[in-house]
Amino acid sequence: MHRYEFAVRDVTCEKCDARIRDAVEGLPGAARIEYVRTPEDEALVSFESDEAIPPDAIERAIEAKSAGTEHDYRVRWAAA
């Protein structure tokens, strides 16, 4: 099992929450998703996958969800 933890910047509302959750749920093998929006307009995301997912694939999936919106979602990886 692979575990991923990161923050997403510019997450300000329930629509943002839905977009980010949708992006994560669409990743290969994603399961056990934990999601919390912070007062700093970030979403803290952690999830497990039975497949290894390249970090840039996660970033692209998240960032693509801001297309056509006023947001600019960016992944900030948790310090190891």
- What pLDDT band is residue 64 in, cutting at 50, 70 and 90? very high
pLDDT in tens, 3-46: 999 999 999 999 999 999 999 999 999 999 999 999 999 999 99
DSSP per residue over the chain, as a string?
Answer: -EEEEEEEES--SHHHHHHHHHHHHTSTTEEEEEEEE-TTSEEEEEEEESS---HHHHHHHHHHTTTTSS---EEEEPP-
Going by pLDDT thresholds of 50, 70 and 90, the confidence category of residue 78 is: confident
Taking the CB of residue 80, how many other CB atoms lie within 10 A of it?
4
pTM, two decimals, is 0.92
